[in-house]
Amino acid sequence: MLIIIIYGARLRRPDLSPCYLQMARWRKMMRELSAEARLHSRARASSNRTAVRLHTAAVYGAFALIAAIVFGATSVRPF
């Protein structure tokens, strides 16, 4: 963050104290860590959604297999 103070017709950058620079570095690091944490949480959420979708597909596949076996058994030898 660069602060520019206007005095008359010329621009002047105020002197930045070491404390301010240290805080700016700390904020930048925290922002990067926060972005990395958001990325990991999105990846976990995506992984959870994928697992739920695979589980749903497996359940529907099992029902389809059972229906195919029942339908095949009744069509060969009707009651």
CB contact at 8 A, 12 and 5? yes
Token duo for residue 70: 């029942």
- Whole-structure pTM value: 0.43
Amino acid residing at 54: L
Tens digits of residue pLDDT in 56-69: 999 999 999 999 88
Closest CA relative to residue 2, chosen from 19, 16, 17, 23: 16
Closest CA relative to residue 26, chosen from 7, 62, 1, 63: 1
Tens digits of residue pLDDT in 2-52: 555 555 555 555 566 667 777 888 888 888 777 777 777 777 777 778 888
Closest CA relative to residue 1, chosen from 24, 31, 29: 24
